[in-house]
Structure 1
Amino acid sequence: MKYKIIIISLFIGLILFQACKRKEVAELPPEINFNKKQELKINEQNEQNLKQINPAEKKHIINLNNEVILNQLPATVYGTNTSQLSFRVNGFIYSILAKNGQYVKKGQVIAKLDNSIFSEQLKLAQYNLEQAKNSEKFALLSLKRTQTLNQKQATTQIALEQAESNYLNSQIAVKLADTQLKIAQINFNDTSLIAPFSGYIFNLTSWIGNYVSATSPIVTLASLENLQIQLLIPQTIENNFKVGQKFPFKSTNQKNKGIFTITNIIPYIDQNNKSYLIIGVPSNTEKQLMSGELILIQLK
């Protein structure tokens, strides 16, 4: 009987031990499984981020150790000589003869206004000048005739003075009409927007039929002369750049190549870190670079 009690007690103890063990295992937090899922999620996100990076930019990515792969860095071309062009008279745009990104030569017509009103004003000014000249000729003949009569004492001194005054007024009228004609001619010419220098067109803001006011800019012209290149670099690679140093560059479309010479290095500090603004000038002998273009500075 005692043996049966002992065996039953051992059996019950074994059952309780197994139950406690299963409960302990069940209560363990699945930290290992959670970390694996989290790591997998992070890796997937990193892969997605890498896919979104332009292939041309992968060569200058800063890695987790804050090290830069010094192959190439992106930079932007800026035009130091740019001009906002506008008409000098009000009117409706009749035609646009250039487009954004187009290269134009000095003296080339970029746009025209409807010049019908200015054409009529020009014709009227021409007519007024012709009439003023005819009046001047008549006043001169009248003056000469009066002078002859005065010499013969066949007219009064008052009549002579009046003839002289009429001739003087006719001369003034001719000069005034000539000035008005020149103004009308200028206004007529100003209905054409002409490039003051050679360069590239951008920021074209108006189109055919738009009404524009005098001095309101409708387009920007960037000169090919005195171009400037700028790029921002982290402090970790600042020692790789010196004033006067030269680097080859190429445009992202592979069409333009040249040499970039550093002219200035300026510290650039914000709330997060310290960077440096590198400024320099490009060789642009083929006159192909334009303001706003993205290029790649070749460091190796």
Structure 2
Amino acid sequence: MQSAQQSSPFLKLSLLCISLTLAACQKEDPQQSVKPENKIELIQQDLVTIEQGNAISKTSFTGTIRAVNQSSIQAQVTATATNVNAEVGQRVSKGQVLVHLNNQDNAARLAQSQANLASTQAQANQAKLMMERKQRLLNQGFISKVEFEQSRVDYQAQMENVRAQQANVDIARKANQDGTIYSPIQGVITKRDVEPGQTVAAGQTLFEIVNPDQLEIQAKLPSDQQAALKIGQKIEYNIQGNSNLLTAQISRISPIADQASRQIEFFAAPNETITSLSIGAFVEGHILGTDNISGQKIPLDTIQSLKDQPYVWVIRQNKIAKVPVQILNQSYSNNTAIVQGLQNSDLISRIKFNDSDVKQDVSISQN
């Protein structure tokens, strides 16, 4: 019993030493498990150095291709089409007959007005003879001057009736002639809305004609960019479905802005020949300015979110950075852009990173 009590302090001391040893081991283990973070490795081909560059200022616009000369032909009278002499796609000359409209009422009115004119003209001739006869009698002293003046007044009244009837004849003839419709311009029929035997109403569109020999660009620009609009200003543009870069010159500018859209309409004459199939096609282009833009020249395809808050990934002081840029000029044909917002020592990364990679260390390999 006494020996057991003596050994108890030694047992407690041993247990305390073991506990301290284990605690020391537990503190050392985390230090042994810590490893240095790995750097993101890039090669020289992943990076692009910044160059100083110049470009011509450009103002973007959208529009369509239209014919300079085009016409929409409406019926002037209500009548029945007897002959239709034009088809869609057919080229017609100015003054060519397109359709005959038959309206018997207009023909009857013309005949009636012509008969009334003839009757009134005969009465005027009779009044003239009477006035001349009384002039001779007045000169011979057989009648009074008052009687002669009365005959002269009757003759003038008959002449006014003649002029009134002549106006009725002109109106009836015009209505009758409106039954024959001619082409007002030289061009190609693009729309036909009348068939033989069809009754058309006054004001109804029968044909649409365009002259494909002369086309132009019709576009609009916001009024706050009106400084870019000048007669003779050069334009670069693409037609929808055609990858070729074409050129034109501004030929006309609307003197006022549209009150609803606050945009200014302008027209441009193409320098290259455009086929008639492009009429109505969508156009996208730039108005070339006269001022040069200076900035930092980088590859266009390295810019992220090109149309909405553009930015680039750069290596700045051996760390990854996400830098917003202002695009001053861009060219898809040679994959270049002139921007502002970078430091000349930045290296543009062709590799796309994530936001979590920002400030991550980078190592650049020569191979």
Q: What's the secondary structure of 2:115's corresponding residue?
A: helix
Does 2:236 match 1:261?
no
Does 2:280 match 1:289?
no
Deviations 1:212-259 (A, max 9, x none): 2222222211123541369xxxxxxxxxxxx55599x9x99xxxxx99
Deviations 1:69-101 (A, max 9, x none): xxxxxx985324322111222212222111112
Aligned counterpart in structure 2 of residue 170 of structure 1, from 151, 155, 158: 158
Do 1:77 and 1:228's aligned partners in 2 also have CA atoms closer than 8 Å? yes
Q: Tell me which amino acid in the other structure corresponds to 1:145.
A: R
Q: Which residue of 2 aligns with 1:136?
A: 124
Q: Tell me which amino acid in the other structure corresponds to 2:247.
A: T
Taking the aligned partners of 2:272 and 2:148, their CA distance within structure 1 comes to 73
Q: Which residue of 1 aligns with 2:330?
A: none
Do 2:249 and 2:270's aligned partners in 1 also have CA atoms closer than 8 Å? no
Aligned counterpart in structure 1 of residue 194 of structure 2, from 185, 206, 226: 206
Taking the aligned partners of 1:128 and 1:208, their CA distance within structure 2 comes to 34
Aligned counterpart in structure 1 of residue 212 of structure 2, from 219, 224, 242: 224
Report matched runs for 1:4-153 at 5 Å. 77-153=65-141
Which one has a larger percent strand, Structure 1 or Structure 2? Answer: 2
Taking the aligned partners of 1:174 and 1:123, their CA distance within structure 2 comes to 16
Normalised by the size of structure 1, how large is the TM-score? 0.52
* 145-154 or 162-171, which deviates more: 145-154
Deviations 1:137-158 (A, max 9, x none): 1111100112222333323444
Do 1:142 and 1:163's aligned partners in 2 also have CA atoms closer than 8 Å? yes
Q: Which residue of 1 aligns with 2:313?
A: none
Do 1:87 and 1:192's aligned partners in 2 also have CA atoms closer than 8 Å? no
Q: What's the secondary structure of 2:72's corresponding residue?
A: strand
Report matched runs for 1:271-286 at 5 Å. 281-282=269-270
Number of matched residues? 194
Do 2:78 and 2:103's aligned partners in 1 also have CA atoms closer than 8 Å? no
- Note closer, same or farther for the CA distance 1:283–1:130 as it changes in structure 2 (3 Å cut): farther
Which one has a larger percent helix, Structure 1 or Structure 2? Answer: 1
Do 2:215 and 2:270's aligned partners in 1 also have CA atoms closer than 8 Å? yes
Q: Tell me which amino acid in the other structure corresponds to 2:69.
A: N
- Note closer, same or farther for the CA distance 1:280–1:172 as it changes in structure 2 (3 Å cut): closer
Deviations 1:159-215 (A, max 9, x none): 322211110011112212222222222212211111111111122222223322222
Taking the aligned partners of 1:123 and 1:188, their CA distance within structure 2 comes to 10
Q: What's the secondary structure of 2:247's corresponding residue?
A: strand
Do 2:131 and 2:155's aligned partners in 1 also have CA atoms closer than 8 Å? yes
Taking the aligned partners of 2:214 and 2:205, their CA distance within structure 1 comes to 22
Q: Tell me which amino acid in the other structure corresponds to 2:276.
A: L
- Note closer, same or farther for the CA distance 1:152–1:262 as it changes in structure 2 (3 Å cut): closer
Q: CA deviation at 1:133?
A: 2.1
- Note closer, same or farther for the CA distance 1:218–1:88 as it changes in structure 2 (3 Å cut): same
CA RMSD of aligned residues (A): 4.0
Q: CA deviation at 1:291?
A: 6.4
Taking the aligned partners of 2:149 and 2:127, their CA distance within structure 1 comes to 12
Structure 2 unaligned blocks of 5 or more: 1-62, 219-233, 251-266, 283-332, 334-367
Q: Tell me which amino acid in the other structure corresponds to 1:148.
A: R
Displacement over 6 Å in runs of 4+: none
- Note closer, same or farther for the CA distance 1:203–1:154 as it changes in structure 2 (3 Å cut): same
Normalised by the size of structure 2, how large is the TM-score? 0.44
Q: Tell me which amino acid in the other structure corresponds to 1:207.
A: E
Taking the aligned partners of 2:109 and 2:278, their CA distance within structure 1 comes to 40
Taking the aligned partners of 2:278 and 2:116, their CA distance within structure 1 comes to 48
